[in-house]
Amino acid sequence: MKTCDIIGISDSRQQWFSPEITEVIRNGKVFSGGKRHHEIVARLLPEGAVWIDITVPLSQVFEQYQSHDHVVIFASGDPLFYGFANTVQRECPGVAMRVFPSLNSLQMLAHRMCIPYQDMHVVSLTGRDWTKLDEALINGESMIGCLTDRQKTPHAICQRMTEYGYTNYRMTVGEHLGNEDSERVSVYDEQATYGHPNCIILQKTAERIRPFGIPDAEFSLLDGREKMITKMPIRLLTLQALDLPRRHVLWDIGFCTGSISIEARLQFPHLQIEAFEVRPECKAIMHENARRFGAPGIGVHMGNFLTCCDDVAAHSTPDAVFIGGHGGHLKEIMEKVLAVMSEDGIIVMNSVKAPKVTTDSHQLWDEACSELGLRQEPPLHIQLNEHHPITILRCKR
């Protein structure tokens, strides 16, 4: 395929095209699109037209395209808005492409609702995970437009928002937008059945407080032990030491109550956070705290870090690592981290100076850094009220 025209269409069975698009269709010989697109435009195609269905695997579709010099492709809405034109650019970087957009589904829904949408924050859940919606909710975006799929349905979205306490939005659902027979726009109803395709617009109805520093007393604790949580001022200083505004992936090793992961999630929602813990009872505590404070999207991994981190490393390259617990295996943990961490990554640990502690974690840190060739940065010594002194340690390659 040397050239292609990509035409955006709505769900209407009475499509109107400009003279320029009409001419493109009239002169076309090879056409392509999804099954639904074919149903809409079949009667408009010239006699003898060849049709290539867009189905998975897409590699086979593009193999068929390569047998033709020019292909006219029909796509939904604006093909450059999370659309098929992006796929064509990726798979056929040398192709000469023209795009004729229509309104995308979220634009159509905003028009049906008669609401200005210039400030709408758009996320696509079509074939994607929850990451971008979670980030938008934590950031408290005033209006969020969501593209859905058959798994990330309005019901699934509402369930996730409710689980993490984001009930301060009104959801409007648009189904089959543009279709004269089945279009419907309605405020979300948990008893309703929604047809596909659909999209939603979330409008914030009230502010949700996002604290800068969660009070320690509000966390569920391991066996009720207050000493098993990183205290809030130390927690915030630890996040500062991790340099999180510039980081992308945080690993929290030995998360216990989840306070570091949850605080990081709320303050830096762009982060991918993977949390590790060996004590099985901490899993429920982490989930309870994450739901309580509205911190969805933290990856929770139970078991010995040295044996369970490999699977996580396959899809996650940390550039910030916090070691909250090491069980006497600090050097082995740091060695494992170095094998997967990005070149500019940073490792942080808090060392507690307690009279009854026989193993000096600061000494273990110094020895591990020396043996692994790590460069230590100046430590920060701090004591909070009557608690034992703490040293925040930081190192890089």
Residue 343 CB contacts under 8 Å (≥ 6 apart), including other chains: 397
Q: Are 357 and 375 in contact (CB under 8 A)?
A: no
- pTM (predicted TM-score): 0.91
Q: Which parts of the chain register pLDDT below 50?
A: 358
What pLDDT is recorded for position 345? 97
Cβ atoms 176, 11 nearer than 8 A? yes
Residue written as tokens 């269709």?
25
Strand pairing partners for 277? 302
Residue type at 45 in one-letter notation: L
CA distance 96 to 87: 14
Strand partners, 346: 320, 396
pLDDT in tens, 253-305: 999 999 999 999 999 999 999 999 999 999 999 999 999 999 999 999 999 99
145 vs 60: CA distance, rounded Å: 32
pLDDT of 355? 58
Measured distance CA(1)–CA(65) in Å, rounded: 6
**DSSP type of residue 312:** H
pLDDT of residue 364: 94
User: 55: buried, middle or exposed (CB in 10 Å: 19+, 13-18, 0-12)?
Assistant: exposed
3-state DSSP call for residue 366? Answer: helix
DSSP type of residue 153: -
- Name the token pair of 90: 């990726």
Provide the pairing of β-strand 169-175 with 198-204. Answer: antiparallel
Q: Which tens digit of pLDDT belongs to each residue from 51-97?
A: 999 999 999 999 999 999 999 999 999 999 999 999 999 999 999 99
Number of C-alpha atoms within 13 angstroms, CB side, residue 385? 5
